[in-house]
Amino acid sequence: MGTQTLRHLLRPSLSIRCVALSFLIFCGGCISVVPPVQQSASTVTSNPTTVTSNPTNIPTQLAVFPEDLSIRRDESCSFAAAIGEVGYPSITHMPEPVSWSIQEGVAGGSINSDGVYTAPSVDGVYHVVGVSTNDPSLTATNVVRVGDGLGLSGDSNAARLFSTVTLLPSGRVIVAGGISLSFDYPQVQQIIDRADQYDPATAVFQSVGKVARSNHTATLLPNGDLLFLGGYATIVPSGPNDHPVTPVPAATAEILSAATGTIQAAPGMNTARAGHTATLLTSGKILIAGGYTPSPASPPYSPPTSSAELYDPVSGTSSPVWSMSVARVGHLATLLQNGKVLVVGAGSAELYDPATNSFTPTGSPAFRGGGSNDRGIGPTATLLNDGRVLLAGGWVRDQLYYPYVSIDTAELYDPASGQFTAAGKMTMPRSSHTATLLSNGTVLLAGDSPSPQRLMMRKNQS
């Protein structure tokens, strides 16, 4: 992928029809596995030309995004289209000019010439149809499901990447932003412009407002408000290549008010960032570190940064702090029991000390991802009851499997000694999974993102 756009999403160009999620409990050798859950792809109708063995005459089809949309009554969502090669994951033209319609007519809602769809006030399953204006023989039909809320299961549109998930004091959960993408066309993405609240009492997701960003952070403040910082808020065209669009980091902020339940703009950061960390300190301020930042020299490319800043949610102001030793993205930041922050990534670790407002090196972690030249993503860091930190999994560079491979190792950081030690291996390689400290002191590791070596294993076994 080189320096092409979207390379920072660290996603190989593979065609994936479904994603299996598995769950296990990692508790000193005690493992419990839950059966996989399948996620379906959308139905796309196309009228390609006759397939031939000549690679220069590969037929094309029209693809419409998002796929299999679920939306609440009277809500709106933007559709886009692209021309791609039949049987190949590469998009050759994005966006493709199309004429839009709804198969069910006005009963299925409305859609304007820009692809903005508005759902009807009646629940049901409807269909958005796109027809290429350059080649009317190319059409695509995507499903739209309209209802009061999104069910916890059986809803493929609930799948999103690079969103935030936050447990509120009430026991409800806020899922905000992220991107939706085609598993047939991994390069194509759309920013999800909504925040949904999950109520465990009803097992239903309900929209609470619009949060149009991905790769951002969500910080639960002491007063119960939820602060969203940075991330990718816009996507710009980059030209006709394998990755024709590029997300642009933002410095903006929004707050979900605990008192009113509404989302409103808040003062932003000093630096636009995406893929950064935001750690709530004991002082109530937030340490913001690393991430991708816009490059004035070669826009819209976004390189990793070593800079950090201290954000005060009370005053809405942000002040710089000493930079980290290296540029980091996809790194980990964990508040320790002593009030310091452990930052791990790029093959090194350092501690942020609020008393000195600076970073100092500590230990030597085995995890090598999270830096400007050796970037890995998707590990987890869990603060244990005894004050140690468990690091597990992640994606790292590998010469055999292009470009990244998941790892199955775990390690422990001890603040008393300032050292990392191996903590055994998981039953399978994992990245972009979750890690939850349970009441009995064990850690539940759940889910994973399919890595190249697993996809190749599946292909060889089929």
Per-residue pLDDT of the chain (462 residues; tens, 9 = 90+): 333 223 233 332 222 222 223 333 333 333 333 333 333 333 333 333 333 333 446 678 888 887 777 787 888 888 888 887 765 545 566 678 999 999 999 999 999 998 899 999 988 889 999 999 989 999 999 988 887 654 433 343 456 778 999 999 999 999 999 887 655 555 566 788 888 888 888 777 778 888 999 999 999 999 999 999 999 988 776 655 555 567 889 999 999 999 888 999 999 999 999 999 999 999 999 999 999 998 877 666 788 999 999 999 999 999 999 999 999 988 899 999 999 999 998 778 999 999 999 999 999 888 765 444 444 566 889 999 999 999 988 777 665 555 567 778 899 999 999 999 999 888 888 877 888 888 899 998 887 655 444 433 333 343
Give the integer Cα–Cα distance in Å for 323 and 434: 28
pLDDT for position 458: 36
pLDDT for position 404: 65
Q: HSE, CB side, 13 Å, CA atoms: give it for residue 209.
A: 15
Give the integer Cα–Cα distance in Å for 179 and 163: 7
Give the integer Cα–Cα distance in Å for 120 and 146: 8
Tokens of 68: 């299999």
CB atoms within 10 A of CB 349: 25
pLDDT for position 38: 32
What are the helix (H) ranges across 190-325?
none
Cβ contact 163:213 at 8 Å: no
The radius of gyration of the chain's CA atoms, rounded to the nearest angstrom, is 22
Domain 59-145 has CATH 2.60.40.10: yes
Exposed / middle / buried, residue 270 (Cβ in 10 Å: 0-12, 13-18, 19+):
middle
| Angstrom distances, CA of residue 27 to CA of 52, 395, 412, 437 | 54, 22, 13, 10
pLDDT for position 393: 84
pLDDT for position 357: 95
- Indicate the fold that domain 162-323 takes in CATH: Neuraminidase (2.120.10)
Cβ contact 204:197 at 8 Å: no
Say which DSSP state 157 is in: G
Q: Tokens 């301020």 label which residue?
A: 285
Say which DSSP state 371 is in: B
> Which of 307, 308, 332, 179 is closest to 246 using CA atoms?
179
Exposed / middle / buried, residue 407 (Cβ in 10 Å: 0-12, 13-18, 19+):
buried
> Which of 405, 411, 434, 443 is closest to 424 using CA atoms?
411
Cβ contact 227:218 at 8 Å: yes
pLDDT for position 374: 46
What are the helix (H) ranges across 236-310?
none
pLDDT for position 138: 92
Tokens of 447: 């889910």
Domain range list for the chain: 59-145, 162-323
Give the integer Cα–Cα distance in Å for 367 and 376: 9
> Which of 12, 15, 9 is closest to 184 using CA atoms?
15
pLDDT for position 91: 59
Long-range Cβ contact pairs of 17-23 (< 8 A, separation 24 or more):
17/41, 17/183, 17/184, 18/183, 19/159, 19/183, 19/450, 20/450, 21/446, 21/447, 21/448, 22/428, 22/446, 22/447, 22/448, 23/444, 23/446, 23/447
> Which of 69, 102, 66 is closest to 81 using CA atoms?
66
Give the integer Cα–Cα distance in Å for 340 and 311: 16
